[in-house]
């Protein structure tokens, strides 16, 4: 129906769904798992029902850590020999909780070695960014190496520091998201630092929205990278142990730090990036089972196999 038409009070309109989906999934019933002192809640799925799960601070961190530890346990358990894990550590909300998870994991697994790489990215104030990130590493006992904007740029082969490069990018491409470029620079610094130290594993703090938005973008451009939580690419293992955790739960576990980080961010200017994240939020809140499938993937039957649900009808 055209939005230019304003229906009359007694006018009857007939609408037909183009593909006959079950619209009850847009407003389903919820199971509620309350907490006596909630600081956050997430929408989870159990089979075909959605659940609102509330957490206090301790319970929320236990939930995040359980996901984190299961991914690292599975990865490390499959290795033929131990390896040092490099951590791309920031001082933002994701980095703060990633650091806390690593600190707990080191206490429970004292033989597992971590080393954080902290780099200025040109996006935030250099001094504040490095200070907050190194404070996270120090608080949770993670050895680290930090790179200033100038050191990061030198490692990347730039003729100028990252801050100047970032500002030039914003001037020349005002409708593109310069923060994405800054994130790419951080990943490249980590890749080069890992190569110099003979490390083959890098741990990132990507959350569930990050992973879903990235997979949607890959579908748009037709370039599907190996999935997380462990991505094997160019001789490196990239691990995202927070990839099953919604961002809002991560932020709720350290509200003050998260608000500080948001205040330091530049306003978004990218229509595409904003659209992808809006879609990721909608999927997580509206269709949590689909959100889980974006992260975990769905195993498709082979071309000569009969799908299990059809086989049961024989």
CATH of the domain at 260: 3.40.50.620
Q: 118 lies in a domain?
A: yes
Exposure class string for 75-86: b at 16+ Cβ within 10 A, else e:
bbeeeeeebebb
CB 146 within 8 A of CB 134: yes
The reply to whether 105 falls in a domain is yes
- H-helix or E-strand spanning residue 156: helix 149-156
Compute CA distances 67 → 59, 101, 229, 240, whole Å. 13, 10, 10, 10
> Which range marks the domain in which residue 137 is found?
82-277
pLDDT digits (tens, 9 = 90+) for 68-94: 999 999 999 999 888 899 999 988 888
Helices and strands, number each (H, E), in the chain: 12, 9
Q: Is residue 39 part of a domain?
A: no
Query: How many structural domains are present in the chain?
Result: 1
pLDDT top residue among 60 and 7: 60
The reply to whether 53 falls in a domain is no
Task: Show the beta-strand stretches assigned E in 111-178.
Answer: 114-119, 144-147
Residue 303 lies in a domain: no
Judge whether 9 lies within some domain.
no
Write down the pTM of the prediction. Answer: 0.86
d(Cα 296, Cα 298) in Å, to the nearest integer? 7
**Residues 39, 37: Cα–Cα separation, whole Å:** 7
Please check whether residue 254 lies inside any domain of the structure.
yes
Is residue 265 domain-resident? yes
**pLDDT, mean of residues 147-158:** 90
**pLDDT tens digits, one per residue of 214-223:** 999 999 999 8
């Amino acid at each position: 129906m055209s939005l230019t038409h304003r229906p009359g009070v007694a006018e009857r309109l007939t609408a037909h769904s183009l593909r006959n989906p079950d619209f009850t999934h847009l407003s389903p019933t919820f199971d509620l798992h309350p907490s006596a002192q909630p600081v956050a809640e997430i929408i989870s799925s159990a089979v075909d029902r959605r659940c609102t799960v509330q957490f206090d601070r301790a319970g929320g961190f236990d939930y995040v850590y359980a996901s984190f530890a299961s991914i690292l346990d599975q990865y490390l358990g499959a290795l033929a020999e131990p390896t040092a894990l490099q951590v791309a550590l920031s001082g933002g909300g994701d980095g703060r909780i990633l650091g806390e998870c690593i600190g707990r994991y080191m206490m429970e697994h004292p033989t597992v070695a971590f080393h954080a790489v902290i780099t200025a990215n040109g996006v935030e104030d250099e001094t504040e960014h490095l200070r907050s990130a190194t404070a996270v590493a120090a608080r949770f006992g993670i050895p680290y190496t930090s790179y200033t904007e100038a050191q990061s740029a030198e490692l990347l082969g730039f003729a100028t520091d990252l801050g100047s490069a970032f500002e030039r990018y914003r001037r020349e491409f005002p409708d593109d998201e310069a923060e994405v470029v800054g994130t790419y620079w951080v990943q490249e610094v980590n890749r080069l630092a890992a190569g110099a130290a003979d490390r083959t594993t890098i741990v990132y703090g990507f959350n569930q929205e990050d992973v879903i938005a990235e997979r949607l973008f890959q579908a748009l451009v037709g370039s599907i990278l190996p999935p997380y939580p462990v991505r094997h690419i160019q001789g490196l293992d990239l691990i995202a142990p927070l990839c099953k955790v919604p961002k809002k739960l991560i932020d709720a576990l350290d509200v003050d730090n998260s608000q500080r980080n948001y205040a330091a961010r530049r306003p978004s200017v990218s229509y595409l990036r904003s659209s992808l994240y809006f879609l990721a939020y909608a999927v997580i809140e509206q269709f949590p089972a689909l959100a889980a499938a974006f992260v975990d993937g769905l195993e498709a039957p082979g071309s000569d196999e009969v799908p299990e649900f059809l086989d049961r009808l024989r």
